[in-house]
Amino acid sequence: MLRSAAVVASLCLTLLLAAAPTGAQEVDRIAAVVNDEIISVQDVDMRARLALIMSKLPDTIDARRRVVPQVIRKMIDERLQMQEAGRLKISLTTAELDNAIANLERQNRMNKGQLIGQLQQTGIDPEAVRAQIRADVTWMKLSSRVLLPAVRIGEEEINDRLETIKSRQGLPEFLVSEIFLAVDSPRQDEEAHRLADRLLEQLRSGTPFPALAGQFSQSPTAASGGSMGWVAEGALEDELNAILARMQPGTISSPIRTANGYTILALADRRIAGAQTAADTTIELSQILFPVPPKDGPPRAVLVQKAADISRGARNCTELENLGKQINPQKSGRIGTVRPSDLPGPIRKAAADLAVNAVSAPVEIAEGILVLMVCNRETTVAKIEAPSRETVRRSIEDERVEMMARRYLRDLRRAAFVDVRM
């Protein structure tokens, strides 16, 4: 995950959470102090507001109160990471930053410059966005430069991993995603548990798992929306293995307490290792979100019928997107390419078997009424091949560096002076 391709993935679901640059602030506007650096109330307000938007949560006082503790903790970690990079004189060149933004635009099927343009429309300062992307990429660059040279993978270790893979042929594997909330001290337990419960509520109400994982998970897999890929039976911690074995594809677990914190698992699919598979189907989706009417507005059933009537005339995704610009431009448009198994239950049911350029039946979610259209569908069928030695080496290296990076950040937290004032 520390190589260039993964750097792109690490930004896909979190970039809209950029905090504005910290400027000169009045004392009563300080939200936190991290060593000698200030996080302002304005910074926290922007991050919380955007976290709610990306999580598809209502922007209410209660919702902000729920997310602010985790938002502040994430912002503190970012300051510590950038301070450590500065101490080690590790920084990004302008070309590296521009390349990261360009890769991110390609990953999200955007034209050059479209990312910054869309963010400006939401009121985000382009320089604040660039600063957030710089922080994410700089920490990965630091991890690669400082930690990777200390990792030594011997041929015997590669042989052992290949033998393990071979021994698991014919056994179950699970396509799993996670949201992990660390508990570094007993006083954090209750806060992490409450946040885990709130995230589970949002997942069950239809919020996409990758969106919440990218914003709140403290595992390196947050870089890819929480995706752990295909996991062998028994490969996780005992508490997680016990729950995973009982889960069915398309389901989400309750928060699971392990030695290190709380984990929420999402099981997308299962297969037999080494078998031929046709499970790698992807669809490109577009949507219109008809917002919830005001209290004195028409009944929800009327809105459902209206959504069906309006969207029925769209013959392709371009026409659906044009309708969406008129109805709800902020939350309508092209979603991008996803696996059906990664979608929340009601949305997955509506889109999984939908023909290309066909309009779905209206789907009722917390925010309103959603109408979907599949713009493109691709399915690949292939026999699962054993990885090469180089692939195994890189996989072990990444696992080792990710573990070391987590410890590195934990040590930075413990050594830091942090004063939270809100």
Q: What is the 3-state secondary structure (H, E, C) of 314-337?
A: CCCHHHHHHHHHHHCCCCCEEEEE
Q: Residue 76 and residue 34: Cα distance in Å, rounded?
A: 7
Give the residue-averaged pLDDT of 48-52: 74
Query: Within the chain, which residue ranges are assigned CATH 1.10.4030.10?
Result: 4-151
Give the residue-averaged pLDDT of 234-254: 91
Main-chain dihedrals φ then ψ at residue 205, nearest 5 degrees? -90, 0
Specify the 3-state DSSP secondary structure of 299.
Answer: coil
Fold (CATH) for 170-273: Chitinase A; domain 3 (3.10.50)
Please determine, for residue 16, whether its predicted confidence score (pLDDT) is greater than 80.
no
Q: Residue 232 and residue 164: Cα distance in Å, rounded?
A: 10
Band of the pLDDT at 23, cuts 50, 70, 90?
A: very low
Estimate to the nearest angstrom the gap between the alpha carbon of 232 and the chain centroid: 22
Give the residue-averaged pLDDT of 340-353: 79
Tokens of 189: 């337990």
Residue 19's pLDDT is: 35
Please determine, for residue 350, whether its predicted confidence score (pLDDT) is greater than 70.
yes
Q: What percent of the chain has pLDDT over 70?
A: 84
Structural class in CATH, domain 4-151: mainly alpha
Tell me the whole-structure pTM to 2 decimals: 0.61
Instruction: Look at residues 202, 198, 197 and name the one whose alpha carbon lies nearest to residue 366.
Output: 202
Lowest-pLDDT choice from 192-206, 247-261, 273-287: 273-287
Q: Residue 294 and residue 309: Cα distance in Å, rounded?
A: 20
Residue 119's pLDDT is: 67
Do 422 and 65 touch, CB atoms closer than 8 A?
no
Where does 123-189 show beta strands of DSSP type E?
172-182
Q: Residue 108 and residue 231: Cα distance in Å, rounded?
A: 26
Lowest-pLDDT choice from 102-116, 364-378, 385-399: 102-116
Main-chain dihedrals φ then ψ at residue 244, nearest 5 degrees? -60, -40
Q: Between 215 and 370, name the one with better pLDDT.
A: 370
Of 3.30.300.30, 2.60.40.1080, 1.10.3720.10, 3.10.50.40, the CATH number of 278-382 is: 3.10.50.40
- Which range has the top average pLDDT, 127-131, 367-371, 408-412? 408-412
Residue 157's pLDDT is: 93
Instruction: Look at residues 281, 291, 292, 268 and name the one whose alpha carbon lies nearest to residue 345.
Output: 268
Residue 5's pLDDT is: 35
Q: Residue 195 and residue 216: Cα distance in Å, rounded?
A: 9
Q: Residue 419 and residue 397: Cα distance in Å, rounded?
A: 35
Q: CB atoms < 10 A from the CB of 237, how many? A: 12
Residue 223's pLDDT is: 65
Mean of pLDDT over the chain: 80
Please determine, for residue 276, whether its predicted confidence score (pLDDT) is greater than 60.
no
Q: Residue 108 and residue 85: Cα distance in Å, rounded?
A: 28
Tokens of 255: 């928060």
Where does 140-226 show beta strands of DSSP type E?
172-182
DSSP character for 28? G
Q: Between 239 and 385, name the one with better pLDDT.
A: 239
Q: Between 11 and 143, name the one with better pLDDT.
A: 143
Residue 142's pLDDT is: 93
> Looking at the DSSP assignment, which residues form a beta bridge with residue 338?
283
Residue 88's pLDDT is: 96
Q: Residue 389 and residue 403: Cα distance in Å, rounded?
A: 21
Rg (CA), the chain: 22
Specify the 3-state DSSP secondary structure of 23.
Answer: coil
User: pLDDT tens across 59-100, in order?
Assistant: 788 778 777 887 888 889 889 999 999 999 999 999 998 888
Please determine, for residue 44, whether its predicted confidence score (pLDDT) is greater than 80.
yes
Please determine, for residue 6, whether its predicted confidence score (pLDDT) is greater than 60.
no
Q: Residue 267 and residue 258: Cα distance in Å, rounded?
A: 18
Residue 159's pLDDT is: 93
Q: Residue 220 and residue 316: Cα distance in Å, rounded?
A: 37
Residue 26's pLDDT is: 42
Specify the 3-state DSSP secondary structure of 283.
Answer: strand
Please determine, for residue 21, whether its predicted confidence score (pLDDT) is greater than 50.
no
Query: Within the chain, which residue ranges are assigned CATH 3.10.50.40?
Result: 170-273, 278-382
Tokens of 378: 């691709």
Instruction: Look at residues 140, 106, 153 and name the one whose alpha carbon lies nearest to residue 220.
Output: 140
Q: Residue 362 and residue 305: Cα distance in Å, rounded?
A: 8
Residue 258's pLDDT is: 92
Which DSSP helix (H) or strand (E) runs through 259? none
